[in-house]
Amino acid sequence: MAYEHGEGGKKKRRRVMSKARIEAISAVDRPAQEPATVAIMKRADEPITKLKPRDGESQDDFVSRFMSDGAMKHEYPDEKQRAAVAHSMHARQMRKKWPVEQPRLLSDVNGHSHFIDLADGPGGETSATKSEGAEYSHSHPWVRLDDGAILIGAAEGHTHELRLEKAEFSAEQRRQLAESGVAMPDGAFPIRNAEDLRNAIGAFGRAKNKAAVARHIKRRAAALKLTDLLPEDGALADLLSKGLDASATDGDTMTPEEKAAIEQAKKDLEQMTKRAERAEQVAQLTDAQRAIMPTDEKARDEFLALAPEAREALVRKAQKDAADENAVVETIDGMAFRKNDDPRLLAMAKQARKDREERAAAQKQLREEQLRKRAKEELSHLPGDEATKVALLDAVEAMPQATRESIAKILQAHDGGLSESFRTAGVRGEPAGGNDPEAELEKLAKAAREKNPKLTPEQAYAQALNTPEGRELYEARA
């Protein structure tokens, strides 16, 4: 891995491709790596003697020595090119200690994956392929860090991770490795040596319980005395920097969020089990029992917990109560009022009936008073008590109008005839006025009707006969 100094003296990683074959150079408007530069020069016929890294010499020390060497300055006058050659030579020297590896498959992202040939040494390009739905294929740059971890660059807005090769171990091997603590309790992430440690670090991104895997990697690195291979940045480094207890059990490393998720899952399972049991109990109820089952959850559970006999007893009670509530308590004007009706409606109906009865009684009393008055005025000379006369007039009023008028004339004439017994005769037996008695009686009757327009002709005539003057005129007609 090559570095260059950025702002503030901080080192900035820079990928250097040292093993490539140029087949074509094209000018494009959408370059894959805009800041990339390419330097091409022809090799001299004479062999070039280059500086080589010393044993144990760090990359920074070798690059510094290479950049200041006079022969290398003459051979590579361009500083960027000289730095790239220095980094490449140091990487080839370091590759000698790395084991020979077979091509590996990267993780699936967006419906595709890539092969990576780790035998390329410090870095290279993955195989090219297309994302699902993409028009063009792409590849990813990759480099091997100083600690041996593989870093895969981004392309088309995503990156990949090395797959953890489980096929290298049989189920029995994984079981034995798990028992010895070399692998996780489920046999995953076996770390026997430096190569296994690098594989585990590369596959860390796929771990579900990252805290447990990070603790396992840290514990195995310490046991193998390979802590120098642990990464200094990234997700794994962040977890390692939090001081994970390497002796803790896997369960102790769960995050609060994971514990909360597990507790919530337990609660959800309990609720689902309870709902299933409740649904089964409801299915066993009769239609009558379901009809009276409470809607409140607590009351419903209590109802379902009852014995079948107890639920049937509640059904019978509910049916009896419903019958009682539906019983007719009173009938008013042909309308039946039941026990479960709104009591305000019944009260209104009762009040209306009372009002009608009071009005009918008042009307009856008024009619009786009117009939008694008429009996005194119109039938005063007829035999019989007042009640009989009132009954007679009431019966006449119920008859058709023509019949009623004829009977009224007969009664009035009869009453008038009887009034002769009470007439006071004049000195010579002549009417006081000396005029036609019949005409005078008609005048009296007309005057009575003018005074009281409600009187019929017969009633007015009878009223005229009841006056002293009328009786005198009646007697004078003979």
Residues whose CB is less than 8 angstroms from the CB of residue 139 and which lie 6 or more positions away in sequence, other chains included: 114, 125, 126, 127, 128, 129, 155
pLDDT tens digits along 440-476: 888 888 888 888 888 887 778 778 888 888 878 877 7
Residue pair 380/418 in contact (Cβ under 8 Å)? The answer is no
Residue pair 79/63 in contact (Cβ under 8 Å)? The answer is no
Is 244 found in the same domain as 377?
Answer: no
Is 273 found in the same domain as 366?
Answer: no
pLDDT tens digits along 207-248: 888 888 888 999 999 999 988 888 888 888 888 887 665 455
Is 367 found in the same domain as 241?
Answer: no
State the pLDDT at residue 419: 57
Closest of 79, 75, 87 to residue 19, by C-alpha: 87
> What number of CA atoms fall less than 13 Å from residue 302's CA on the CB side?
7
State the pLDDT at residue 205: 81
Is this prediction's pTM over 0.85?
Answer: no
Residue pair 28/22 in contact (Cβ under 8 Å)? The answer is no
Is 244 found in the same domain as 277?
Answer: no
Percent of the chain's residues with pLDDT above 70: 74
Q: Of the candidates 65, 95, 125, which is a domain's last residue?
A: 95
Q: Of the candidates 95, 113, 132, which is a domain's last residue?
A: 95
The C-alpha atoms of residue 177 and residue 148 are separated, in whole angstroms, by 23
Domain that holds residue 366: 352-476
Span 181-196, average pLDDT: 88
Is 189 found in the same domain as 228?
Answer: yes
Q: State the residue for tokens 């969020």.
A: 257
Which of 5-14, 261-270, 369-378 is predicted with the least confidence, judged by mean pLDDT? 5-14
Q: Is 155 helix (H, G, I), strand (E, B) or coil?
A: strand
The answer to whether residue 280 is domain-embedded is yes
Residue 437 Cα distances to 145, 211, 339, 430, angstroms: 154, 138, 74, 10
State the pLDDT at residue 273: 83
Closest of 290, 295, 297 to residue 312, by C-alpha: 290
Span 249-256, average pLDDT: 52
Is 78 found in the same domain as 125?
Answer: no
Domain count, the chain: 4
Is 251 found in the same domain as 129?
Answer: yes
Closest of 175, 233, 167, 236 to residue 200, by C-alpha: 236
Is 395 found in the same domain as 312?
Answer: no
Q: State the residue for tokens 């895997």.
A: 213
Is 447 found in the same domain as 394?
Answer: yes
The answer to whether residue 413 is domain-embedded is yes
- The pair phi, psi for residue 146, each rounded to 5°, is -60, -30
Is 390 found in the same domain as 310?
Answer: no
Is 362 found in the same domain as 461?
Answer: yes
Mean pLDDT of the chain: 77
The top-scoring range by mean pLDDT among 6-10, 350-354, 405-409 is 350-354
Span 319-342, average pLDDT: 70
Is 252 found in the same domain as 165?
Answer: yes
State the pLDDT at residue 146: 59
Q: Please state the separation of Cα 209 from the chain's center in Å.
A: 33
Which of 2-11, 30-39, 47-56 is predicted with the least confidence, judged by mean pLDDT? 2-11
The answer to whether residue 287 is domain-embedded is yes
Q: How many CB atoms lie within 10 A of CB 67?
A: 15
